[in-house]
Amino acid sequence: MRFVEANGARIPAIGLGTWELSGRDCARVVEQALKLGYRHIDTAQVYENEREVGDGVRASGVRRDEIFLTTKIWTTHFAPNDLERSAKERLVRMRMSEVDLLLLHWPNPHVPLEETLGALAHAKQAGLTRHIGVSNFTVALIEEAVALCPEPLVCNQIEFHPYLDQTKVKEACARHGIALVAYSPIAKGRIKTDGTLIRIGRAHHKTPAQICLRWLVQQNVSAIPRTSKIERLSENIDIFDFRLSDKEMHEISQLHSEAGRLTDYAFAPKWD
Ligand SMILES: NC(=O)c1ccc[n+]([C@@H]2O[C@H](COP(=O)([O-])OP(=O)(O)OC[C@H]3O[C@@H](n4cnc5c(N)ncnc54)[C@H](OP(=O)(O)O)[C@@H]3O)[C@@H](O)[C@H]2O)c1
C-alpha cells in the first residue's frame, strides 16, 4: 500500500467508500476489505452506517492502529457546541475511542467558518480524532480555512475522476500540504465503458476502474472507491503493480473536456 503524506498524516492511497452500504452488508464489505489489505475506510454521519463500519472493523481482526478511519460531520452540526457533541456521537456509534480523520462534510455559509474550524480543532485537541480536514471546499474556501484553522488541515475530500478537472483545487491544496482524497473516483462506475480507459487497460492487463484509480494514485491523490461486491474489492486495490506512462496520464487527464460534470449528489446541501 502506498500512502499520501499530508501535514503529519499518512493516508493510505486506496480506501473503501461506504456511501449507500448499510446493515450487515456494510459490515461484511468492510470486514472483507480489511482482510484483503485495505487500511482506509470512509464513512459519514449522513451515511447512517457508522455502527456497521465499526462492527466490520472489529470483525476483520485487523489491529485498530493499522487502519485509517475517516468520518464526516454533517452541516447542520457546525455550531461549535453541536460539532463537539456530534464528534463524540460519531465515536459512540462506531464504538471507537478516536477516529483518524474528522471532516466537515460540506461548507455551510450560515455558520462562521472560524467558529466551526475552532470547534473542529478542539475535537482534535480533545483526542476525538488524530487529524482534521474538510470536504467539498473550493479554492477560495481552502485559503480561508487554512488562515482560520488553529490546527493543520490534512485533507480536502472532493469529487475527482477523469471526467472532472480539479487542477485548481489540487494546486491550492498542494500549496498548503493538504492531501486530496478523491470521492466518486470511478465516476460511480461510469468509467467501465470508456473507450480510452478500456484501450489503456488492455495494454496493462487492467480494467478501466483500475486504470482510473491508478491515474489518481499516480498523482499522489488518495481514492476511496465504493463497491458492494467482494470480487470488486480485490480489483479496486490491485493497482500497485504497474505504472501509467506520461502520455497515458495526459490522455486520461484530457477526458474531462469531453465529458463535463457527470455526478449529482443527493446529499449536496442546497443553500438559499
Ligand atoms: N465527501 C462527499 O461529499 C462524498 C460524496 C460522495 C461520495 N463520497 C465517498 O466516496 C465514496 C465513493 O464514491 P461513490 O460511492 O459516489 O462512487 P464510486 O466509488 O465512484 O462508484 C461506486 C459505483 O461503482 C461501482 N463499482 C465499484 N467498483 C467497480 C469496478 N471495479 N468496476 C465497475 N464498477 C464498479 C459500484 O457498484 P457495485 O457496488 O455494484 O460494485 C458503485 O455503483 C463514497 O462511497 C463515499 O464514501 C463522499
H or E element: which one contains 9?
strand 9-12
Which of 14, 16, 19, 158 gets mutated to test ligand 1 (max ligand atoms within 8 A of its CB)?
19
Which amino acids are annotated catalytic? 47
Q: What is the mean pLDDT of each run of 10 residues along the chain (272 residues)?
A: 96 98 97 98 98 98 98 97 97 98 97 98 98 98 98 98 96 98 97 97 98 98 97 98 98 82 62 60
Atom of ligand 1 nearest to the CA of 135: 1
pLDDT at 221: 98
Q: How far is CA 97 from CA 58, 65, 85, 90, 132, in A?
A: 13, 11, 14, 10, 16
Distance 19 CA to ligand 1 centre (A): 7
CA pair distance 122, 125, nearest whole angstrom = 5
Radius of gyration for the chain, computed over Cα atoms and rounded to the nearest angstrom: 18
**For the whole model, what pTM was predicted?**
0.96
